[in-house]
Structure 1
Amino acid sequence: MKKLFAQIVKFGIVGFISFGIDYVTGLIVLNLVMALTSSSYFEAASLIGSVAGFTVSVIANYILSFKFVFERKEDMNKKVEFITFVVLSLIGMLLNSFLIWIVVGPIYGGNVALQQNIGHNLIYTIAKVFSTAIVMVYNFVTRKIFLEKK
């Protein structure tokens, strides 16, 4: 039980670092797209930022996860391991993007009062934190099942 708790803590730290990479990259891209277009493209810009952040952070997460959190399966080819990691992460990204879209699209985009009281960056942050919490559980469980040494 102590080993599992320590692993969850390490996973949380790696996840926090990856979230920072994801968030900063996503927010930079979001604001860049918004600057190049207009605020009417906020939903699309949010998704573009989310995908860009994911792409950069998944590579960092892969490296950190196997360095500090999970024990590699000795019989698993590294290419297969990476592909499995990426596929599981892509599923997580799709879930993440869908949840962000729900918050910034139907919830935020469909509510004038929210738009008048909450800025684009704050609603994106709220959506990102919400979706990250859900995807974090998914990532831990699936990586433990499919990638970790038994």
Structure 2
Amino acid sequence: MNNRLLKQIERFCVVGGVAFLIDAGILYILREWLSIYYLIANMVSFTVSTMYNFWASTQWVFEVTEEKKKNKTYTILFVLFSVVGLALNQVCMYLFVSKIGIYYMIAKILSTGIVMCFNFVTRKMMYD
């Protein structure tokens, strides 16, 4: 593995860790404090953390040129991949919580791990 790829993976993990804290924190607040149904709360928290992830990924993780930042195709692809990631996350949450009976915050960790792999591959394809 080359140094550039290792650096991207390390930075992706840092950004992902912060995004996870945002995601899990908002999910917990919406679910526990505001009693919002877990799948709706998950959709909101995922969306907010994805916006942070987009900004951080284009600023720090991947070497995104100004040309690519201004190109609407990349934004559209990011949104499309994010919608697929949200759908995958929602399906995982539903299966883990409603079908298997796992506590929703543990399910969030498992779901995030699955979606994280998808996110890295799609973002790498987009920006490299």
Give me the TM-score of the superposition, normalised by structure 1. 0.77
Q: Deviation of residue 84 (structure 1)?
A: 1.3
Q: Deviation of residue 140 (structure 1)?
A: 0.3
The structure 1 residue matched to 2:119, chosen from 128, 131, 139, is 139
Give the number of aligned pairs.
126
CA RMSD of aligned residues (A): 1.7
Instruction: Classify the secondary structure of the residue corresponding to 1:72.
Output: coil
Q: Contact between 1:92 and 1:139, CA under 8 Å: does it hold in 2?
A: yes
Task: Say if 1:81 and 1:29 are closer, same or farther in 2 by CA, change over 3 A.
Answer: same
User: Deviations for 1:63-102, whole angstroms, at most 9, x for unmatched residues?
Assistant: 1001111122565443322221111111011101100100
Question: Residues of 1 paired with 2:118 and 2:40: CA distance?
Answer: 22
Unaligned runs of 5+ in 2: none
Unaligned runs of 5+ in 1: 37-44, 109-113, 115-122
1:107 aligns with 2:91: no
| Paired amino acid for 2:89 | N
User: Deviations for 1:17-73, whole angstroms, at most 9, x for unmatched residues?
Assistant: 111111111111112452x7xxxxxxxx11011101012111111110011111225
Give me the TM-score of the superposition, normalised by structure 2. 0.89
Query: What is the aligned-residue identity percentage?
Result: 37
Runs of 4+ in structure 1 deviating by more than 4 angstroms, as ranges, are none
| Paired amino acid for 1:79 | K
The structure 2 residue matched to 1:124, chosen from 99, 104, 108, is 104
* Structure with the greater alpha carbon radius of gyration: 1
The structure 1 residue matched to 2:60, chosen from 68, 72, 76, is 68
| Paired amino acid for 2:32 | N
Question: Residues of 2 paired with 1:59 and 1:101: CA distance?
Answer: 23
Question: Residues of 1 paired with 2:63 and 2:3: CA distance?
Answer: 16
Question: Residues of 2 paired with 1:79 and 1:24: CA distance?
Answer: 31
